[in-house]
């Protein structure tokens, strides 16, 4: 798979950087220090950082979503934290790589990327950036703990709804352009399981689209099928989470009605 596109500089780079909700809070003079070292990396769906010949960097999504993948010794993989414009990834690249973890684009994604050495050099001089990073590390740690419970205790159906809603929130009002295979990769299940669940969601007019493109058409309805981890993650991220209208459905009990899935 080819490397993602990179672009640097230009008057719009700082404006684009501020599309990331963490970078948006960095004071202008500190962001200006990072600006000469920033580049925009455009990821194609399914591209994995570990397979790319890129200098090590810290990644701030400005559109789309990347997932922290855990790659097991036996070749299986599982998606963990999803990161959109509310977060950042790659901060502990050495530790991640040593633990078999990598970043993967879930659908098309763009990140503002800063080389790791330059990022930490700036971090040491910036109280504001240090505080923002410490807060993000705390949220990321809590997210991994929440998802450990989610992956162990909650059904694939509930986790699928949670992932679709997370993607929907982070990709704006348009369709979520994601393949069922990528959803299966994130959930660590076979594609056939996801196909059955999406068929049931489509039958209820919760999602639309086929194998290579899915759109959440009724997020409030879909939220009734998601585990409570979705609401917990939203709450954890507070105002950083991309805005979407809430409704009574978002306040629903932990589990909504179960979809009957033949052969699942
Ligand atoms: Zn869950």
Amino acid 1: pLDDT: 45
Cβ(216)–Cβ(224) below 8 Å: no
Helix pair angle (191-203, 180-187), 10° resolution: 120
Residue 131 CA to ligand 1 centre (angstroms): 29
Amino acid 176: pLDDT: 67
Helix pair angle (229-237, 156-170), 10° resolution: 30
Take residue 106 and report the two structure tokens written for it: 């879930």
Residue 11 CA to ligand 1 centre (angstroms): 42
Residue 43 CA to ligand 1 centre (angstroms): 27
User: Cβ contacts of residue 225 below 8 Å, gap of 6+?
Assistant: 157, 158, 161, 201, 206, 256, 257, 259
Residue 54 CA to ligand 1 centre (angstroms): 33
Residue 233 CA to ligand 1 centre (angstroms): 10
Asked if the domains 5-117 and 152-251 are classified in one and the same CATH topology, the answer is no
Give one word for 259, left, alpha or beta, with left for phi > 0 and alpha for psi -120 to 50.
beta
Instruction: Using the structure block, give the residue that is written with the tokens 């709450």.
Output: 235
Give one word for 263, left, alpha or beta, with left for phi > 0 and alpha for psi -120 to 50.
left
Residue 223 CA to ligand 1 centre (angstroms): 12
Residue 56 CA to ligand 1 centre (angstroms): 32
List the domain boundaries for the chain: 5-117, 152-251
**Class of the CATH-defined domain 5-117:** mainly beta
Amino acid 7: pLDDT: 58
Q: How far is it, in rounded angstroms, from Cα 91 to Cα 49?
A: 13
User: What are the average pLDDT values for consecutive 10-residue runs of the chain, which has 264 residues?
Assistant: 51 87 92 90 81 79 91 88 93 73 86 91 88 95 96 96 92 73 90 93 90 84 96 92 54 34 28
User: What is the CATH topology of the domain spanning 152-251?
Assistant: Arc Repressor Mutant, subunit A (1.10.10)
Residue 116 CA to ligand 1 centre (angstroms): 32
Take residue 108 and report the two structure tokens written for it: 């098309």
Residue 110 CA to ligand 1 centre (angstroms): 27
Q: How far is it, in rounded angstroms, from Cα 35 to Cα 13?
A: 8
Residue 150 CA to ligand 1 centre (angstroms): 4
Q: How far is it, in rounded angstroms, from Cα 174 to Cα 184?
A: 21
Which has the closest alpha carbon to 78: 190, 164, 167?
Answer: 190
Which has the closest alpha carbon to 45: 185, 151, 161?
Answer: 185
Amino acid 258: pLDDT: 33
**pTM, full prediction:** 0.84
Residue 162 CA to ligand 1 centre (angstroms): 7
Q: List the Cα angle 64/184/94 in 5-degree steps.
A: 65
Cβ(216)–Cβ(174) below 8 Å: no
Amino acid 148: pLDDT: 95
Amino acid 239: pLDDT: 85
């Amino acid at each position: 798979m080819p490397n993602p596109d990179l672009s640097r500089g230009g008057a719009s780079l700082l404006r684009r950087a501020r599309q990331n909700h963490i970078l948006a809070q960095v004071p202008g003079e500190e962001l200006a220090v990072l600006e000469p070292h920033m580049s925009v990396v455009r990821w194609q769906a399914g591209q994995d950082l570990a397979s790319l010949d890129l200098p090590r960097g810290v990644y701030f999504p400005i559109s789309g979503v990347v997932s922290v993948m855990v790659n097991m010794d036996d070749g299986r993989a599982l998606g963990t934290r999803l990161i959109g414009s509310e977060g950042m990834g790659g901060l502990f690249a050495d530790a991640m790589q040593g633990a078999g973890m990598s970043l993967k684009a879930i659908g098309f994604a763009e990140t503002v990327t800063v080389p790791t050495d330059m990022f930490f050099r700036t971090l040491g001089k910036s109280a504001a950036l240090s505080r923002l990073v410490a807060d993000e590390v705390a949220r990321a740690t809590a997210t991994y703990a929440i998802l450990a419970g989610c992956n162990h205790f909650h059904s694939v159906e509930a986790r699928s709804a949670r992932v679709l809603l997370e993607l929907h929130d982070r990709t704006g009002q348009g369709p979520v352009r994601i393949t069922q295979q990528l959803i299966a990769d994130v959930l660590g299940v076979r594609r056939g399981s996801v196909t059955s669940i999406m068929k049931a969601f489509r039958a209820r007019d919760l999602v639309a689209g086929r194998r290579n493109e899915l759109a959440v058409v009724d997020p409030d309805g879909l939220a009734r099928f998601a585990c409570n981890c979705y609401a917990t993650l939203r709450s954890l991220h507070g105002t950083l989470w991309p805005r979407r209208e809430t409704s009574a459905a978002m306040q629903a009990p932990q589990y909504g009605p179960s979809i009957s899935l033949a052969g699942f």
